[in-house]
Amino acid sequence: WQDGKFVYAARSGSSWTIFKNDIEISENLADVYEMKINAKGSICAFLVRLQSGKETGMTISDEYYEPLMGKNYDMVANLRLHPEEPMIAYTAVEEPYTKIVLNSAEYATSKYSSKPEFSYNGDDLYFLGCDLGCFISINGRQYPIKQVVAPDLQIAKKPNSNTIAYSTNSSMVVLFIENGNMH
């Protein structure tokens, strides 16, 4: 942690507890399976399974009196942590729907979507999705993409811009989101 304290999850029997040094932050969790901490050591996030079998995201910050827990889902995965603010994003499944969650806000996506990503400065949250057609969602707004793009494709996005970039087997593509032009 930013003050030199050690943040960790420990298991005793079938129960997990999250600690900051020797202080319990959260207890009686069924599983802790993804963890991120920002570069400053001021914000930490976990994806956890509760004893009920439901799963959720948890954010720990000195700004909060206690950990911030998200809504419970059937499954959560692909944890992402904002670089500066106590904000997390992850994929959540609430059968039969898949969503991208930003703290407590839910964004619609398709069953086949990419992992959520923050731009390097955290200004944008974006992800790809494909059903009948493909789209990119940027800060909750969906833009159709005129070509089929694999949702597992890693894309790059400059903050506050209208372009994304990705590579294929044969080229590097820059796509202008508003008009669909590619270079």
Q: What angle do CA 175, 179, 181 make, to 5 degrees?
A: 40
Predicted confidence at residue 27, as pLDDT, reads 83
Q: Which two tokens stand for residue 165?
A: 């970039």
**Quick one: which of 57, 59, 132 has its CA closest to 100?**
57
Mean pLDDT, the chain, as a whole number? 89
CA distances from residue 41 to 13, 85, 106 in whole angstroms, order as listed: 29, 11, 27
Q: Taking 90 as the threshold, does the pLDDT of residue 117 lie above it?
A: yes
Q: What is the pTM of this model?
A: 0.90
The predicted model gives 21-44 an average pLDDT of 91
* Residue 144 backbone dihedrals phi, psi, to 5 degrees: -65, 145
CA distances from residue 157 to 113, 136, 143, 147 in whole angstroms, order as listed: 16, 11, 14, 18
Predicted confidence at residue 110, as pLDDT, reads 84
Q: What angle do CA 44, 160, 176 make, to 5 degrees?
A: 125
